[in-house]
Amino acid sequence: MIVTGAIKGTDPQCRRHRMAATSVQTKHLAKWLRERGQREIAQAFIVCRFFALRYKSELVNLKWKSTTSSVEIHGDEVTFHIQRKHTGRKVVPVSRKCGCKQSGPLLCGICIIKQRHQQSSNGFVFPTVDYPKSMLWLKKAAAALQWDFPKSWGSHCFRRGMARECYAFGGLAHMLSVGGWRSAAAKEYLASKTISQAEAADVEIDFSSDEEII
């Protein structure tokens, strides 16, 4: 029998918690992955968080030079030219400077990009990384590292984690600037007096998610 009009369901346990990777968690995650031969995935996760990117649509398909994405390196600054959701998929620049002094070399996305550029400057920046494999390793690591709700960890945990860190450092305006959050729905939440700025920030972050539950 064929049932029409059905809505695809998702395990409630996977949707209930919105996880955010702190810098300490990301460092432990990267170390755990490297020890298991998943160095490129570890680097991809670090760069994703450092630049506050959407992992699936902005990081996985990032190329050194193409019509839809490219990378420019100028000293201690790296600029990604990528298509972003809030610009209607127009290519826009996202720039960051070396973060070694703030977070240490292990979590510096700039150093990783420069290292990878020395190895190869053609094709994809992370050629062996794909979304399903990355998410399987993330959930496996979350369980092994005994993080809360390991099945709930998805790609947006890095963008969300960096956003919350930016919010704590410089408030809502700084967070919106770093991540490029501009959803109209979130602005309506921001105008409401029924929730705090911190809650509104989380709404803004979650509105920009493109992750899938795997």
User: Nearest 5 degrees, angle CA 19-CA 24-CA 25?
Assistant: 40
Residue 99 has pLDDT above 80, yes or no: yes
With bands split at pLDDT 50, 70 and 90, how would you rate the model's confidence at 123?
very high
- Against a cut of 0.85, is the pTM above it? no
Q: Could you tell me the pLDDT band of residue 201, with boundaries at 50, 70 and 90?
A: low
For residues 87-100, average pLDDT: 87
Tell me the CATH number of domain 19-207, given options 2.60.40.650, 1.10.10.10, 3.30.360.10, 1.10.443.10.
Answer: 1.10.443.10
Judged by average pLDDT, the poorest of 4-13, 19-28, 109-118 is 4-13
Q: Is the pLDDT of residue 165 over 90?
A: no
> Which tokens belong to 139?
């959930």
